[in-house]
């Protein structure tokens, strides 16, 4: 019997119900504990990975994940393929659908991922775009769940640029009932339409979504404090300007961590820049769970791929 996720596209997590996200998280936890139980579950399946943006964790976790599930992964850099020469996305999508069982794409424009999904007959996974980072969010949710065993009455506070990571945390948090607060300087807030979307989704789960420019107003209740680089890929030329805006109020430091709950944990999707968005004493300190979080990219994506590519999952 075909499972409910088989063949779905995952572009921004809105495609998934609360129950489906929880299934993925619980499966990821199980796969992490008993990897050998799933060693041949995607035997013969092939994932195509398209990269327009540089990658460390996305490539390693997806490729290692497919190998651990008994499948294969093929890397296709856009600059080394016909995609980089302007081949119509319709042609690329149809050809790849004939060769592969799923596509993961890491690129800039969300419209490119949407067009690829629209023209493909196999599931397309958004590995990162300018607006969304859904697979990172699944790993983040798994990490929080491993610590708390629930999302009810759990508070995640994101400090910094209202970027793709913040967007996905808002959507994913709203979906599972996790309270999410985002503190960003004026002019660097999350996109208004995504905030509205998250608040609408939160009505179904009871999650509290908060947007503020005052970190002090939200860190006091934080169970997890999360940050990301202030200059995402493509914004490197603005790094100095952004630092002048974000420092010192939006830097996660020891005093900010101490303001949170007694067992407050620090999270970061990496890469991190010590001395900018976070101090070395925090990211390398006892409250930091960044490497658990990074490892969970592997497990969460294995669970997702298993659900998308195995009919009887």
Residues known to be catalytic: 106, 133, 136, 228, 269, 297
Q: What is the pLDDT, as a whole number, of residue 204?
A: 98
Mean pLDDT per 10-residue interval, the chain, length 313 residues: 88 98 98 98 97 92 98 86 74 95 96 96 97 98 98 98 98 98 97 98 98 98 97 73 95 98 98 97 98 98 98 87
* Residues 6 or more apart in contact with residue 33 via CB below 8 angstroms: none
pLDDT digits (tens, 9 = 90+) for 193-252: 999 999 999 999 999 999 999 999 999 999 999 999 998 766 666 878 999 999 999 999
Is 270 flagged in the annotation as binding? yes
CA–CA gap between residue 166 and residue 134 (Å, rounded): 10
The DSSP element (H or E) to which 169 belongs, if any, is: helix 164-176
CA–CA gap between residue 224 and residue 260 (Å, rounded): 8
Is 168 flagged in the annotation as binding? no
> Strands 209-212, 124-128: parallel, antiparallel or unpaired by DSSP?
unpaired
φ, ψ of residue 202 to 5 degrees: the values are -65, -20
CB atoms within 10 A of CB 75: 14
* Residues 6 or more apart in contact with residue 295 via CB below 8 angstroms: none
CA–CA gap between residue 15 and residue 7 (Å, rounded): 12
Is 59 flagged in the annotation as binding? no
pLDDT digits (tens, 9 = 90+) for 90-121: 999 999 999 999 999 999 999 999 999 999 99
CA–CA gap between residue 282 and residue 267 (Å, rounded): 10
Is 150 flagged in the annotation as binding? no
φ, ψ of residue 12 to 5 degrees: the values are -155, 10
* Residues 6 or more apart in contact with residue 215 via CB below 8 angstroms: 157, 159, 183, 249, 250, 256
Distances (CA, A) of 245 to 22, 122, 159, 192, 237: 37, 43, 13, 20, 14
Q: Does the CA dihedral 47-52-55-58 come out positive or negative? A: negative
**Coil vs helix vs strand at 157:** strand
Is 106 flagged in the annotation as binding? yes
| Whether 168 contacts 198, CB under 8 Å | no
**Coil vs helix vs strand at 127:** strand
Is 233 flagged in the annotation as binding? yes
pTM score > 0.85 for this model?
yes
List b or e across 139-175, with b for residues whose CB sees 16 or more CB atoms inside 10 angstroms.
bbbbbbbbebeebeebbbbbbbbbbbbbbbbbbbbbb
CA–CA gap between residue 95 and residue 90 (Å, rounded): 9
Q: What share of the chain is helix, strand, coil (3-state, %, to 5)?
A: 45, 15, 35
Q: What is the pLDDT, as a whole number, of residue 3?
A: 87
Q: What is the pLDDT, as a whole number, of residue 82?
A: 65
Is 232 flagged in the annotation as binding? yes
Q: What is the pLDDT, as a whole number, of residue 160?
A: 98
Domains of the chain, with CATH numbers?
18-133+297-309 (3.40.50.1370), 136-293 (3.40.50.1370)
């Amino acid at each position: 019997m075909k499972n409910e996720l088989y063949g779905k596209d995952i572009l921004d997590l809105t495609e998934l119900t609360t129950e489906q996200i929880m299934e993925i998280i619980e499966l990821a936890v199980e796969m992490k504990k008993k990897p050998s139980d799933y060693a041949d579950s995607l035997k013969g399946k092939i994932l195509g990975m398209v990269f327009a943006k540089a990658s460390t964790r996305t490539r390693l976790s997806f490729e290692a994940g497919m190998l651990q599930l008994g499948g294969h992964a093929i890397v296709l850099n856009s600059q080394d393929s016909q995609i980089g020469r302007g081949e119509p996305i319709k042609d690329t999508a149809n050809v790849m659908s004939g060769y592969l069982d799923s596509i993961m794409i890491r690129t800039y424009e969300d419209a490119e991922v949407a067009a690829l999904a629209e023209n493909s007959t196999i599931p397309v996974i958004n590995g990162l775009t300018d607006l969304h980072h859904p697979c990172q969010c699944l790993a983040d949710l798994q990490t929080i769940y491993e610590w708390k065993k629930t999302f009810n009455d759990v508070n995640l506070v994101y400090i910094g640029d209202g970027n793709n990571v913040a967007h996905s945390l808002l959507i994913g948090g709203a979906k599972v009932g996790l309270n999410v607060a985002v503190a960003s300087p004026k002019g660097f807030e999350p996109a208004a339409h995504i905030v509205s979307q998250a608040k609408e989704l939160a009505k179904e789960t009871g999650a509290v979504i908060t947007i503020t420019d005052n970190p002090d107003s939200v860190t006091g209740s934080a169970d997890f404090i999360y940050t990301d680089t202030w200059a995402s890929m493509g914004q490197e030329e603005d790094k100095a300007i952004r630092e002048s805006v974000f420092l010192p109020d939006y830097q996660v430091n020891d005093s900010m961590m101490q303001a949170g709950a007694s067992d407050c944990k620090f999270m970061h999707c990496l890469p991190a820049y010590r001395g900018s968005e976070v101090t070395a004493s925090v990211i390398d300190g006892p409250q930091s769970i960044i490497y658990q979080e990074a490892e969970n990219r592997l497990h969460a994506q294995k669970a997702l791929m298993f659900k998308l590519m195995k009919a009887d999952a």
